[in-house]
């Protein structure tokens, strides 16, 4: 599902509510017919949230950020991250501080998590920000793979999806003042 709407329409606020980071003024978010507040640990174990900001430590390298994220999330380190780093265009940059990378390269470091987790629900706020055309295409291929494995994606983007997603639903929020 894609949330659409003008800047300031509430897309990010809605994503944060659905992820459980903010509390709705009315109603509740349900997960498997239960309020997420009642099953928060189970819910968050099935959730991966990547916000508009990269959420990476710019003092650490891509490898260090990835190892930290895997450890914090309870995942084992993969035996070899280098094939994935190569696919994401980060080979040769894996050991330098993220602060020295371009905005698109920093986004790719953040998006590494999409290849290294077991979460069923991905909530992604502007995942294509700063990516070039090949990065957008590669990311959309990853979306298709995740969906074919029974996963779900809720995202916002101001860019058109260039890949065909047969079951794509778009919900448009209107800006009100």
Query: Which CATH number belongs to the domain containing residue 52 in this structure?
Result: 3.40.50.300
Residues in the chain: 177
Q: What's the domain range around 95?
A: 2-172
- Average pLDDT by consecutive 10-residue portion of the chain (177 residues)? 93 96 94 94 94 93 93 79 91 95 96 93 96 93 96 92 90 85
Res 18: pLDDT: 96
Domain count, the chain: 1
**Does residue 8 form part of some domain?**
yes
**Does residue 177 form part of some domain?**
no
Res 166: pLDDT: 87
Contact indicator for 52, 129 with CB cutoff of 8 Å:
yes
Res 79: pLDDT: 66
**Does residue 162 form part of some domain?**
yes
**Does residue 166 form part of some domain?**
yes
**Does residue 55 form part of some domain?**
yes
Res 108: pLDDT: 96
**Does residue 30 form part of some domain?**
yes
Q: CB-based contacts of 47: which residues, under 8 Å, 6+ apart?
A: 19, 20, 119, 120, 121, 122, 123
| Exposed/middle/buried for residue 71 (C-beta within 10 Å: 0-12, 13-18, 19+) | exposed
**Does residue 63 form part of some domain?**
yes
Contact indicator for 17, 29 with CB cutoff of 8 Å:
yes
**Does residue 99 form part of some domain?**
yes
């Amino acid at each position: 599902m894609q949330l659409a709407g003008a800047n300031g329409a509430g897309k990010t606020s809605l994503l944060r509510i659905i992820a459980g980071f903010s509390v709705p003024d009315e109603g509740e978010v349900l997960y498997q017919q239960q309020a997420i507040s009642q099953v928060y640990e189970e819910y968050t174990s099935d959730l991966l949230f990547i916000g508009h900001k990269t959420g990476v430590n710019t003092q650490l390298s891509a490898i260090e950020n990835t190892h930290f994220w895997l450890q914090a999330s309870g995942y084992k380190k993969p035996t070899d991250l280098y094939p994935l780093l190569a696919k994401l265009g980060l080979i040769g940059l894996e050991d330098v501080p993220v602060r020295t990378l371009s905005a698109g390269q920093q986004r790719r470091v953040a998006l590494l998590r999409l290849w290294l987790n077991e979460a069923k629900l991905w909530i992604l706020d502007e995942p294509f920000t700063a990516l070039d055309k090949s990065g957008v295409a590669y990311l959309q291929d990853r979306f298709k793979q995740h969906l074919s494995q029974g996963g779900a994606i809720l995202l916002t983007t101001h860019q058109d999806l260039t890949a065909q997603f047969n079951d794509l639903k778009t919900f448009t929020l209107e800006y009100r003042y």
